[in-house]
Structure 1
Amino acid sequence: MAWEAQSRRARQVQSRLDAKLTGYSQLVLEAASSTSPFSSAPSDAVALDMENGAQRLDRAAVETEIQALLAQYKEAQEELAMLLNDPMLPPSQTQQHAVQRHRELLIELERDFFRSRTNLTHALDKKALLGHVKQDIDSYRLQHANEMEAYLDERGHLQNAHRMMDDTLDQAYATQSEFRSQHSQLAGALTRMRNTVAQVPGLNNILTLISRRRRRDTVIIALVIGVCVFILLMMGTR
């Protein structure tokens, strides 16, 4: 009876362990074949889907549970081996074969678990590396996009400055054209005045006499002022 109960317990632990390792192995395959990179979070914090999505646990919890099941399976296998050492009940070949089979399964399950855990670690590290690379690329693109936007803004400012310069030059050209028109009008008026003066007899002589008298009056006034200043200076020195 003790053998049957212990054997049943070992098979139950083995069945649970097989289910956990199967889900864990599927997770490793999904992580290795996934094209979307994981975030830069630690590997132990990655959430895992186990048992066809019926339960969602993190990696550390799943691995701890598998290790606990391995320890239970090893303990059950050792207890079965101890039952075979009873001298009052010699073991049968079936029992010896069962114990040997449990030992082989334990070694195989441990090897599968450690291999899957190593593969998962490598897959998560690769995804994290790809995530960092993608972040660097996005940051580089964003930086250059900002620089391009700044260049476009600067180009817009330069275009506005060029437009203002063009408007100023247009105004200057218009002013120059207006000055030339006024110069032409003044030149025409001066020509007409000269023609008028030439047509009136003696007008030019009268203007010349007026100009000479004005210069004479200017000289006389200057002499008077000079004499007055000289007299004032002489009186001031006495």
Structure 2
Amino acid sequence: MSSSSFSQIRSQALSLEKQTESLLSKYSQYQQSSSQSLESTEDESHTKQQINDILGKRTTIINKLNRISESSINESSLSTSKLQQISRHREILQDHWRAFNRITSQLTDERNRNNLLFSVQSDISYHKQQHQRRPGQAGSTEINDDPNAYILEESQRADNVNSIADRLLQGAMNTRDELINQRQFLQNAQVRIMSSLQGVPGINVLISKINTRRKRDTLILASVIAICIVLLFFV
């Protein structure tokens, strides 16, 4: 593939990156309404699917850029800057995947908490109504007077609460794993930067010259200050 093909495919990657940022911004706004909604809206589900599809397309595009780089190595037609561009596109894609998963996890956790609170409030309201109806209505406490039925209901509620707690715990574990992955990513980025600096011809010599000149300038300045102080004593 030619350099023009690389530019065309990269322009698609840039366009999709902008679309992803816009959709992620829109998707994050649903966190404000998640406290009032127990289920995701149709618009939210559509936005989530759009982001997922675009991220998949960007993965395919980056794979195409990688194939171009592999086919152009022997021809020496792919510059170092283009290789860096491919690496940058990959890093941005990983950042967007992390942001997307983080927002999705937060929305899920918030709705799980709301569902738990709604379930508890409903149970409290139900028992209050049954307690108020008990003195004046015969037969209204038939369910409450059955110990087995009451135990079964409480067992089902306990199972529901345990299920929600398990999902919340799983979300926390996913968040922890994501933080560990981010730390590993930063460490890998630092290693790549150091490797790139070491691979640039003459970079070590340049840094050494800069340090030598700085020491020389410091020594000259210190000498001038010392001479001025000595002269002040003799004047």
TM-score normalised according to structure 1 size: 0.50
Matched, 1:75 2:78: no
Cα drift, residue 147 of structure 1: 3.4
Mark the structure with the bigger radius of gyration. 1
Task: Please give the alpha-carbon distance, in whole angstroms, between the structure 2 residues aligned to 1:137 and 1:143.
Answer: 10
Aligned to 1:3, which of 6, 13, 24? 6
Matched with 1:147 is: 134
Mapped partners of 1:70, 1:15: distance in 2? 12
Cα distance, 1:108 vs structure 2 = 1.0
Task: Kindly report which structure 2 residues correspond to 1:74-153, keeping only aligned pairs within 5 A, or say none.
Answer: 74-85=59-70, 86=72, 87-88=74-75, 90-147=77-134
Counterpart AA for 1:24: Y
CA distance in 2 between partners of 1:26 and 1:98 (Å) = 31
CA distance in structure 1 between the partners assigned to 2:88 and 2:29 by the alignment: 25
Partners of 1:90 and 1:117 in 2: CA distance: 42
* CA-CA distance at 1:150 after TM superposition: 5.2
Give per-residue Cα distances to partners, 1:165-221, cap 9 Å, x unaligned.
xxxxxxxxxxxxxxxxxxxxxxxxxxxxxxxxxxxxxxxxxxxxxxxxxxxxxxxxx
Task: State the distance in 1 between where 2:75 and 2:97 align.
Answer: 34
Question: In 2 relative to 1, CA 2–147 (structure 1 residues): closer, same or farther, beyond 3 Å?
Answer: same
Matches for 1:24-103 after TM superposition, within 5 Å: 24-31=27-34, 34=35, 36=36, 38-39=37-38, 43=39, 46-47=40-41, 57-59=43-45, 61-85=46-70, 86=72, 87-88=74-75, 90-103=77-90
Gaps of 5+ in 1: 48-55, 152-238
| Number of residue equivalences | 133
Q: Point out where structure 2 has 5 or more consecutive residues left out of the alignment.
A: 139-235
Deviations 1:67-100 (A, max 9, x none): 2111101111121222223133522232122111
Shift of 1:11: 0.9
SS of the residue 1:57 aligns to: helix
AA at the equivalent of 1:136: D
Provide the identity percentage.
20
**Runs of at least 4 residues off by over 4 Å:** 148-151
What's the secondary structure of 1:132's corresponding residue?
Answer: helix
Q: Distance in 1 between matches of 2:125 and 2:136?
A: 16
The TM-score, its normalising length taken from structure 2, stands at: 0.50
Distance of 1:4 and 1:69 partners within structure 2: 19
1:15–1:149 CA distance, 2 compared to 1 (3 A): farther
2:26 to 23, 33, 48: 23
